[in-house]
Structure 1
């Protein structure tokens, strides 16, 4: 499974990347810039995006809106060290936008919770070749 990790905290990225790779045969890409991540999402269309909400350039909320507009059909997990109310609001927004949100989690993310989220993402059907910025022959997948 292809996983894109997006967080402006390099230590958090390294920690998440180590946990993801220890939990299976995943191709992990790390990014600290939301703008560069958006380019990767357009080009690569990962199966799972794990995204911090507090980002420079485009914050996580704006990034979610752009992903929805561009038809991203991968799964999304939100992370935040912010107030739980902000996390819940972002969760509602992502679902309302039609994104396949698997969870909105407080930092730090527990290994067991990450393992469950990875399993959920791996079990999700995707439309072959559909990523951000493509036009599928059918509607993008929606979270169960």
Structure 2
């Protein structure tokens, strides 16, 4: 179920896209957002927070460390509870990746296409476990 109090770590390496995504999430009613432009900023945000983010919303294609590697790292060290990854990859590639990551036991809600569609994002958030 949609929870406007979700603490969301948003990782997108393009500053304009990061701002646009934050505005999009604000319009959807999400305001507890922590932006990060790369994996290092995301790691630092997790350390500063001191408790897990409810959701990691992360681009798969990041410089240095991929979004997949960052997701796996943050999930294993308790920095996040669940994640939604996004990319410009083809839909069948994203579905295959989603199945692979879920089969590894990672707390993934979905792999979504960019630009993020509000309805699809809300449906994915509806999968969030309590």
| TM-score computed with the length of structure 2 as normaliser | 0.79
User: How much does 1:60 deviate?
Assistant: 1.4
Runs of 4+ in 1 over 6 A off after TM superposition: none
User: Aligned residues, how many?
Assistant: 123
Distance of aligned partners of 1:68 and 1:33 in 2 relative to their CA distance in 1, 3 Å threshold:
same
In 1, the alpha carbon distance for the partners of 2:61 and 2:118 equals: 21
Q: CA RMSD in A?
A: 2.1
Map residues 1-144 of structure 1 onto 2, 5 A cutoff. 1-44=6-49, 45-72=52-79, 74-121=81-128, 124-125=129-130
In 2, the alpha carbon distance for the partners of 1:13 and 1:118 equals: 19
Which ranges in structure 2 are unaligned for 5 or more consecutive residues?
1-5
Per mean C-alpha deviation after superposition, the further-off stretch among 89-98 and 15-24 is 89-98
In 1, the alpha carbon distance for the partners of 2:125 and 2:92 equals: 24
**8 Å Cα contact 2:72/2:106 also seen in 1:** no
